[in-house]
Structure 1
Amino acid sequence: MKIKVLIADDNSFIREGLKIILQTYEELEVLDTVSNGQEAADYCRDNQVDVILLDVRMPVMNGVEAAKLISGQTKTKIIILTTFDDDEFILDALRNGAMGYLLKNNEPERIRESIKCVYNGNSILQDVVLEKIKSNLTENQEPQAKFNASLFTEREREIMCLIAKGCSNKAISKQLFISEGTVANYITSIFGKTGLEHRTQIAIYYLTGKVD
């Protein structure tokens, strides 16, 4: 079964170029391309889309606002794909349901693997994005809430740290010498304690101490 992909970008050259490239991978099916956030939200609501590549800066409705609608109204998994790594967008996009944040200068193979990873329920946070989040936390004038470590077991804290580094369940299981099933059980426990719904939110909580 192919992964059904939608591309949302206001630059026709970029979206059509991505479509041509991604269609060469046999496991991916590019359903369509759209040029703004409203079109993206409408399309995901009316069609079965597995993963959307969503630009941030678009007319009518930007990618951050579209992500909130898409995550709230559909089962589509969201990857923010942009040339902009501005601090102002990163946390908002991830808090609004995006499971990944990549810059457009990545090789096509990296984008392909990220689509597969997010489709399988893992989060993708590129190194530069993590560094931006950390930098924002240290430079922000308002104090950030601290991660409440006392709520979690030592193993849960280790897993949250690795999730924040972008590790998959498989990578975590290898590093901690436990089964993938055990990792999944710990993550379920973390969800229960925090009220969070997906891995990217765990990463944000671990880094910022905030759950909203």
Structure 2
Amino acid sequence: MIRVLLADDHQLVRTGFRVILEIEDDIEVVGEAFDGRQAVELSRRMRPDVVLMDLEMPGMNGLEATEVVTAEQGPAVVVLTTFDRDDYLFAALRAGASGFLLKNGTPEALIEAVRVVAAGEALLSPAITRRVIAEFAATGAPSQAAARVEELTPREHEVFVQLAGGATNAEIATALRLGETTVKTHVSRVLMKIGARDRTQAVVLAYEWGVVRPGG
């Protein structure tokens, strides 16, 4: 069962999300927060697997709450917003969000988002990935980042590049001719060595550090 916490200052929005999610047999909404501060408190107390976090909330906003939750190695955070703005997108990713979802999406997209991040995968649509590339691809890797990359073995570096392209474990296994269990081990080691919380941050770091460039 995937345990979900909803954080939004509009009760109707929270109610709508609850109805959509609790139809599914494998998802349970364990709490609702009306602002970022309450989201942090409930996250600590209820230990959900996923937080659906609105950005625009009074008091502590969603970005601030996301930073606190992810810094404490809490649940995965999917940021929800009605605004398709790059500054929100990149701020959310830098704050440690595992995904970014627009509120005008479909119920199916919301359900899939919860399942994807609960499984430890990145939630970046192709359109969002292109914008991440545009933002970070021209940035050179700072010395500290270069040192972390140098700690990777050749195989781990190959896995890192595959991660940057948004590949799943199964796709990486096929591309590198490895077993999925072996890929999972490599992914865990890559995330640990580069200091990334999850696959989404690995994608951001890969482009921010110049490990990969557009076109290959």
TM-score norm. by structure 2 comes to 0.83
Partner residue of 1:195? 195
Q: How does 1:145-184 map to 2 (within 5 A)?
A: 145-146=140-141, 148=146, 151=150, 152=152, 155-184=155-184
Partner residue of 1:62? 61
- Tell me the amino acid that sits aligned with residue 202 of structure 2: I
For the Cα contact (< 8 Å) 1:87–1:136, is it kept in 2?
no
Partner residue of 1:134? 133
Partner residue of 1:94? 93
For the Cα contact (< 8 Å) 1:22–1:112, is it kept in 2?
yes
Counterpart Cα distance in 2 of 1:19 and 1:116 = 15
Q: How does 1:17-28 map to 2 (within 5 A)?
A: 17-28=16-27
Say if 1:202 and 1:74 are closer, same or farther in 2 by CA, change over 3 A. closer
Partner residue of 1:185? 185
Say if 1:128 and 1:62 are closer, same or farther in 2 by CA, change over 3 A. farther
Partner residue of 1:206? 206
For the Cα contact (< 8 Å) 2:96–2:197, is it kept in 1?
no
Which deviates more from structure 2 when the two are superposed, residues 55-64 or residues 179-188? 179-188
SS in structure 2 at match of 1:132: helix
- Tell me the amino acid that sits aligned with residue 201 of structure 1: Q
Kindly state the Cα deviation for residue 66 of structure 1 after the two structures are TM-superposed: 0.4
Kindly state the Cα deviation for residue 105 of structure 1 after the two structures are TM-superposed: 2.6
Kindly state the Cα deviation for residue 183 of structure 1 after the two structures are TM-superposed: 1.2
Counterpart Cα distance in 2 of 1:78 and 1:99 = 5
Kindly state the Cα deviation for residue 137 of structure 1 after the two structures are TM-superposed: 3.6
Kindly state the Cα deviation for residue 67 of structure 1 after the two structures are TM-superposed: 0.6
For the Cα contact (< 8 Å) 1:7–1:33, is it kept in 2?
yes
For the Cα contact (< 8 Å) 2:63–2:91, is it kept in 1?
yes
Unaligned 5+ residue runs, structure 1?
none
Partner residue of 1:72? 71
Unaligned 5+ residue runs, structure 2?
211-216
1:124 aligns with 2:154: no
SS in structure 2 at match of 1:106: coil
SS in structure 2 at match of 1:60: coil
Say if 1:9 and 1:165 are closer, same or farther in 2 by CA, change over 3 A. farther
What value does the CA root-mean-square deviation take over the aligned residues? Answer: 2.4
Give per-residue Cα distances to partners, 1:158-212, cap 9 Å, x unaligned. 42233233332123223333211221232233234323332222111111118xx
Counterpart Cα distance in 2 of 1:167 and 1:92 = 23
Partner residue of 2:38? 39
Kindly state the Cα deviation for residue 4 of structure 1 after the two structures are TM-superposed: 0.8
Partner residue of 2:84? 85
Kindly state the Cα deviation for residue 49 of structure 1 after the two structures are TM-superposed: 1.0
Counterpart Cα distance in 2 of 1:32 and 1:192 = 31
Give per-residue Cα distances to partners, 1:65-85, cap 9 Å, x unaligned. 101111123531111122223
TM-score norm. by structure 1 comes to 0.84
Say if 1:121 and 1:103 are closer, same or farther in 2 by CA, change over 3 A. same
For the Cα contact (< 8 Å) 2:31–2:42, is it kept in 1?
no
- Tell me the amino acid that sits aligned with residue 140 of structure 2: A
Partner residue of 1:3? 2
Tell me how many residue pairs correspond in the alignment: 205
Identity %: 32
